[in-house]
Amino acid sequence: MFHGTISVLNLQSLAGVALILVLCWLFSENRRRFPFLLAVGAIGLQLVLVLALFGVPAIRAGLTSFGAVFDGLAKAAQTGMAFVFGFLSGSGPQPYPVTTPGALFVFGFRVLPVIMVVCTLAALLWHWHILKWITKAFGFVFSRTMGLRGPTALAAAATIFMGQVEGPIVIRAYLSRLTRSELFLLITVGMACVSGSTMVAYVTILQGVLPGAAAHVLAASIITAPAGILLARILIPRDPVAEAALDKMPPDERVYKSSMDAIMKGIHDGMQIAVNVAACLIVFVALVAIINMMLGALPQLGGSPLSVERILGYVFSPVAWCLGIQGSEIPIAGQLLGTKMMLTEFTAFIKMGAIPALEMTERTRTIMTYALCGFANVASVGINLAGFSVLLPDRRDEIITMVGKAMLAGFFATCLSAALVGAIPSFITAIPG
């Protein structure tokens, strides 16, 4: 259970929660309509979820067991890779002496296959109605506690498990009738959360440096959904009049003809996601390398050359402070936040996973896991624009005006969750390794 006294860092995180809400209110399209009841409900729901997930012994034990599930999925994916690529996958006996075992961890062979396997399992579980029931349960909670209409609540819940573009497909027949506020909300929640396939990938990266990594990653995506809904409603308040006549639930658009059809379509979708992730990482990391080469030609600052990482560290340091990060670790936390927004959360998780356990406190690493666990980055702006342009071609111009703001809302939603976790006394010690 949670226990302990409130520290200065807890108060710092609490101040961060307030500052994030105020900042979003300042950029609201209608500052006279701040959703006070929703703010109380959303933050209350987040606290209830955190306390339930980590405070109730039975739920906590079940959440902890996800570590074994994620390990099993990663090992299964690695077995498939070893069958296809042999020793190149980094598994099994190597034909040459291994002098640097850490070099056997190749992102393309260890992480991307997991995405394909989990995406396929998600399609199969959806066809068997298991994932559909879980999604509807979360949708019911969102509709009752946060005032969302049925279709919007269902799509927001589906996004937690299926991803930023895949989730809204569940209500594709209804998308064209969403209000501007509801459409913005769905894009924001998609940016704030991650998909089930990428959760396993993040756990694979963080294993060994963060105790209870699987529990934290799963909890981060779940509790950030209410934060995304809240900040979306603050920035673009709801329009009850426009929603009044649009309450009928649409038919389910994600239908598979058989289990094999679900598997084959899951493989296809997983492959597209994996290729997209790989392409984004290659291009964005290359672009940063080019910029760093150009910055290297400038005079040094503080005895070291300028780099994108250093600049991002300075720019995002105030945000890191708002999360409740201690002073000595604020620069590296700021770099991770900036990396997440500009280079995708995968790059940020890889950088944090490479930091030795003794060089970053468990509190900071845990808070940053919640702050990084979301799709809010520059690359996702393009992904959402492309995806929703296909789903809603007639509203493409409207989507263009919202997608950048949705990225910022999603980014601050993950920060809100991280600050809330940082404000809970002794939260870190309550998590089993």
Residues ≥6 apart with Cβ < 8 Å to 137 = 157
Question: Is the predicted pLDDT of residue 22 greater than 80, yes or no?
Answer: yes
Per-residue confidence at 9, pLDDT binned at 50, 70, 90? confident
Question: Is the predicted pLDDT of residue 60 greater than 70, yes or no?
Answer: no
Would you call 286 exposed, middle or buried from its count of C-beta atoms within 10 A (0-12, 13-18, 19+)? exposed
Q: Assign 390 to helix, strand or coil.
A: helix
Question: Is the predicted pLDDT of residue 4 greater than 60, yes or no?
Answer: no
Q: What secondary structure does DSSP assign to 308-347, as a single string?
A: HHHHHHHHTHHHHHHTT--GGGHHHHHHHHHHHHHH-HHH
Residue 245: what pLDDT? 55
Sign of the torsion formed by the C-alpha atoms of 240, 241, 245 and 250? negative
Q: What counts of helices (H) and strands (E) characterise the chain?
A: 20, 0
Per-residue confidence at 309, pLDDT binned at 50, 70, 90? confident
Would you call 15 exposed, middle or buried from its count of C-beta atoms within 10 A (0-12, 13-18, 19+)? middle
Average pLDDT rounded to a whole number, residues 79-99? 78
The structural domains of the chain, with segments of one domain joined by +, span: 11-90+104-430
Share of the chain above pLDDT 90, in %: 16
What does the alpha-carbon distance between residue 412 and residue 6 come to, in Å, rounded to a whole number?
A: 24
Contact, 324 vs 419, CB < 8 A?
Answer: yes
Q: Assign 301 to helix, strand or coil.
A: strand
Residue 234: what pLDDT? 94
The H or E element containing residue 78 is helix 57-85
Q: What secondary structure does DSSP assign to 28-71, as a single string?
A: -S-TT---HHHHHHHHHHHHHHHHHHHHSHHHHHHHHHHHHHHH
Instruction: Please calculate the CA angle 278-281-284 and round it to the nearest 5 degrees.
Output: 145
Residue type, 113: P
